[in-house]
């Protein structure tokens, strides 16, 4: 049984959880990404409304906006896709999409912001775009700290094949000794 250690503030508590998940995922996020993840979790913990949103539509709305409204909407799309892919990957299965759908959409939102912004935040969004899979792996590592693995074996295989996620590969290795391979797709052969 795990021991519950309470930190003096909610920020410290979230930071401890993220640090524990980093250790479980065999990852070390840089300070910027770690801080962003802590504050993202704090910001969205009381927002059950994100579950009913269609991220592709939100992304398109964000692209059609400009200025601060565009930044806020695209940031929210990236953040929510990160939460879906990390904390709620089985949500993708219920929506009949792969987890990598959220990865691609989230990275696209952060990447678009990195390209379009002309202030210091652009660098952070570039880091979020590039570090999306690592952040997702850390979030997924939070799930089994107290429960079942976040992904079914087939989801692990698909996510590893689509994104190269080391966390998905570790999840796959928990259920099989087989080594997965990404087979090249031959456009000449019918599926």
Judged against a pLDDT cut of 60, whether residue 191 lies above it is answered with: no
CA distances from 170 to 52, 61, 94, 173, 178 (A): 30, 36, 23, 5, 12
Tokens for 127, please give them.
């880091």
pLDDT in tens, 26-63: 999 999 999 999 999 988 877 666 656 677 788 788 88
Q: Give residue 186's pLDDT band: very low, low, confident or very high (50, 70, 90).
A: low
Of the candidate ranges 19-33, 159-173, 176-190, the one whose mean pLDDT is the lowest:
176-190
Candidates 20, 55, 130; CA nearest to 28 is 20
Q: Give residue 1's pLDDT band: very low, low, confident or very high (50, 70, 90).
A: very low
Judged against a pLDDT cut of 50, whether residue 6 lies above it is answered with: yes
123-127, 145-149, 157-161: range with highest mean pLDDT: 123-127
pLDDT in tens, 65-119: 887 888 889 999 999 999 989 988 888 888 888 899 999 999 999 999 999 887 8
What pLDDT is stored for residue 7 in this prediction? Answer: 62
User: Which sequence spans correspond to the domains of the chain?
Assistant: 10-148
Q: Average pLDDT, whole number, for the chain?
A: 83
- Which residues neighbour 1 within 8 Å (Cβ) at sequence distance 6 or greater? none
Judged against a pLDDT cut of 80, whether residue 184 lies above it is answered with: no
């Amino acid at each position: 049984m795990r021991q519950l250690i309470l930190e003096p503030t909610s920020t410290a508590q979230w930071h401890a959880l993220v640090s524990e998940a980093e250790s479980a995922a065999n990852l070390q996020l840089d300070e910027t990404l770690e801080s962003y993840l802590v504050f993202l979790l704090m910001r969205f913990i009381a927002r059950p409304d994100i579950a009913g949103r269609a991220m592709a539509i939100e992304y398109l709305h964000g692209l059609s906006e400009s200025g601060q409204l565009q930044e806020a909407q695209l940031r929210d799309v990236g953040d929510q896709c990160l939460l879906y892919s990390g904390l709620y990957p089985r949500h993708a299965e219920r929506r009949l999409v792969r987890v990598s759908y959220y990865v691609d959409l989230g990275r696209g939102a952060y990447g678009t912001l990195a390209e379009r912004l002309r202030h210091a935040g652009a660098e952070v969004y570039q880091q979020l775009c590039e570090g999306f899979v690592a952040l997702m792996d850390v979030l997924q590592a939070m799930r089994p700290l107290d429960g079942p693995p976040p992904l079914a074996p087939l989801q692990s295989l698909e996510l590893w094949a689509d994104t190269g996620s080391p966390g998905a590969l570790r999840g796959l290795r928990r259920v099989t000794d087989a080594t997965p391979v990404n087979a090249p797709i031959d456009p000449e052969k019918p599926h």
